[in-house]
Chains A and B, each alone.
Chain A
Amino acid sequence: MYIATLDNVEYKIEVKEVGDNKYEVIIDETPYIVDAQLTEFSVYSLIINGKSYEIDLDYKDGIYHVYNEGDLFKIEVMDELKKRMLEKRGGAGGLEGAYTVKSEMPGKVVEVKVKVDDEVKEGDVLLILESMKMQNEIKSPKDGKVTEVFIKDGDTIEADAKLVTIE
């Protein structure tokens, strides 16, 4: 049994494999027979009760980014037991302890605004990253102290590169 969270609403979902690429999916007690085929790249063809859906699926940081008809559904899917256990421990992940800010895109570091030992507040600008002629402010996701800076002015970085650690 999974707990899927979409727009802060939880759905109980059960998945049973009933044949080649065929699944019985029960969403909050409503069963669906789903024919799911991975067709190209990350594009799935789903047939549910004869209706055909094209679903584009990315998995990023524990969240499924699901596109259908151009609409984005951000869905967290977690085993029920794991979810309940994490809740008892006080939330999944969160921003407790040391947190390393990573770049969401490749780009060129125009200016690093912080140095080690600086105190920062949530929303403070950590650095300015230029990509595709646009300058983007990368902000701190939490209050804390800068413990490590991985980049310097003029660096060209890849997506997912570590930028700054805040503790």
Chain B
Amino acid sequence: MVKVKEFKKVLIANRGEIAIRVARACRKMGIETVAVYSDADRNALHVRYADEAYYIGPSPAAESYLRIDKIVEVAVKSGCDAVHPGYGFLAENSEFVKACEEAGITFIGPNTESMYILGDKTRARQKMMEAGVPVVPGTKDPVESLEHALKVAEEVGYPIMFKASAGGGGKGMRLIHSPEEFKEVYDLAKGEALSAFGDDRMYIEKAIVKPRHVEIQIARDKYGNAIHLFERECSIQRRHQKVIEESPSMAINDEVRHKMGEAAIKAVAAANYDSVGTVEFLVDKDMNFYFLEVNTRLQVEHPVTEMVTGIDIVKLQIEIAEGKPIPYKQEDIKQIGHAIECRIYAEDPDNNFMPSPGFITGLRLPGGPGVRVDSGIYSRGEVPLYYDPMIAKLVVWDETRDAAIARMQRALKEFVVKGIKTTIPFHQKVMRNEDFIKGDISTEFIDKEVLAEPQKREGSKEAALAAAAIKEYLREKELAKKLLEFKETCSYGSPWKESGRRAAIFGTSFGDIYKYST
């Protein structure tokens, strides 16, 4: 029997934009919020946004935002009914869920059992196969011999990936197109694996050529009601990190969209999941889709779905945790228009994406119709070096994809962050890329197409040259003036004379100076 417990006060165990995003939902729902902060975050915006704020330790995350004991202690002392973990940090940590439960505090997320099953890739894959959800064909078992390998490859179907069991992060992988090629490279690949990892065990998986990363947002309550909120296209990645997301995806049609939604619901139902979550799939060029993994938390890119469905996903997540049934039926959920999100990182795209923490000396946020900015930054605020470099999410909505791209371009143009470098110029280049505009993208798009080739500049060379020359002219003039002032003050000596001279030069009296300085 499910008990409904309406939350009065929620601790948000996170920082930055997501802490503010969660606090916004709480505020709207009339729930009080409790923030936690580290040394580096005393001046952070999430601290001011919350109703209460407590210090939990030194700047490194391991000593503050990852301290389960301290966070639970604050939650208990401040009288919270629930904890929202955001994403990252403790969001998928079952120890944290257990600690909350033991302290009598609701964890806003799935039950530990389903987190345990779905949070692990191997266990999740097994569960999906049982539930009849398509997974990437192949086997994690090492092949025994060339004959065995050829047989497995034939079953899976070429092209295949021949992967080292001990490898990871793209290392020790080979793409093989035919049995002839396989015979040629079999020994070579094993030899390479042995020298690289000291282990020559290899396994076979179907190769998904130019894969697209498409994920389904789902919600399932404690009564077993489940809905999906359609898909998000997340193929635009740099070094396996998502940087741009959109909904709907250009890679699938309505029929496949419907099938993927059904499969996602089946996937989470198999684990008795009871929160909002995301089921990730790889989609090939023939619209075949394969289960990748489940994210048992709120996703960074959830606003894209909020823009096209109009549903507040954080509010829905909190209500499910309170024990309330989902207030929508599947047929109520509509995917309207097109939304795009650009993740703005404090990195220098003109210098190999070097991290760029520091003080923000100036900030102008974009606005106008269809534009949403989720961020935790402010002018004169600091972006600490201890945490994730994502400083803002810029999300736009418009009727069509083309219109949304145009709107994103104008919003990026309005977005000014001074003092630190950001990836705003990089996003502008992607939005101008012809293949992106056509929707012809894959997970390799950024690394292989956008960054590999020098992009044509759109900015004005003449204006840039003129600006630099004028600045140099002014700099020289300023230097000459300082030199002159230095000579004069040194020779005149008296500070009174000096200020009198200044007043004469600037045309102000002492009274004026006093007036202006108050």
Contact = CB atoms under 8 A, between A and B. Distances in A.
Query: Does B associate with A?
Result: yes
Interface of A: 2, 4, 6, 11, 13, 15, 17, 23, 25, 27, 32, 34, 36, 40-44, 46, 48, 53, 55-57, 59, 64, 66-73, 75, 77, 79, 104-108, 131-134, 136, 156, 159
Nearest to A21: B470
B15 to A, nearest CB: 13
A107 B385 CA distance: 6
A73 B458 CA distance: 11
Contacts of B427: 70
Contact of A107 (B355, B468, B475): B355
A13 B462 CA distance: 11
A11 B468 CA distance: 12
Interface in B367-413: 385-389, 412-413
Interface of B: 346-347, 350-351, 354-358, 361-362, 364, 385-389, 412-413, 416, 418-419, 424-425, 427-429, 457-473, 475-476
Given A41-B362, A41-B418, A68-B459, A55 B467 contact: yes
Given A43-B362, A69-B458, 19 more contacts: A13-B466, A13-B469, A15-B472, A34-B466, A36-B470, A40-B364, A41-B418, A42-B362, A56-B416, A69-B413, A70-B412, A70-B424, A71-B425, A73-B465, A131-B355, A132-B357, A132-B385, A133-B389, A134-B389
A70 B459 contact: yes
A106 B466 contact: no
B354 A104 contact: yes
A2 B464 contact: no
A15 B358 CA distance: 34
B468 A57 contact: yes
A6 B116 CA distance: 56
B356 A105 contact: yes
30 contacts: A2-B473, A6-B461, A6-B465, A11-B465, A17-B473, A23-B466, A25-B466, A36-B466, A41-B416, A41-B418, A42-B362, A56-B418, A57-B471, A64-B472, A66-B468, A67-B425, A69-B428, A69-B458, A69-B460, A70-B413, A70-B424, A70-B428, A72-B350, A77-B471, A105-B355, A106-B357, A106-B358, A132-B389, A133-B388, A136-B355
A136 B466 contact: no
A6 B459 CA distance: 14
Contact of B468 (A43, A69, A75): A75
Q: Which of B364, B386, B468 has the most CB of A within 10 A?
A: B468
Give 9 nearest A-B pairs by CB, closest first.
A68-B459, A70-B428, A41-B362, A71-B459, A70-B425, A69-B459, A73-B464, A132-B389, A131-B355
A52 to B, nearest CB: 10
A53 B290 CA distance: 48
B362 A4 contact: no
Nearest to A44: B467
Nearest to B429: A70
Contacts of A32: 462, 466
A6 B347 CA distance: 23
Contacts of A46: 463, 466-467
Given A69-B459, A133-B388, A27 B425 contact: no
A157 to B, nearest CB: 10
A32 B324 CA distance: 67
Among B385, B412, B424, max chain A CB count under 10 A is at B385
Contacts of B476: 79
B240 to A, nearest CB: 13
B467 A71 contact: no
B457 A15 contact: no
Contacts of A53: 460, 463, 467
A11 B461 CA distance: 11
A104 B420 CA distance: 11
A150 B246 CA distance: 46
B460 A68 contact: yes
Contacts of B460: 53, 68-69
Contact of A4 (B354, B459, B468): B468
A4 B385 CA distance: 35
B474 to A, nearest CB: 9
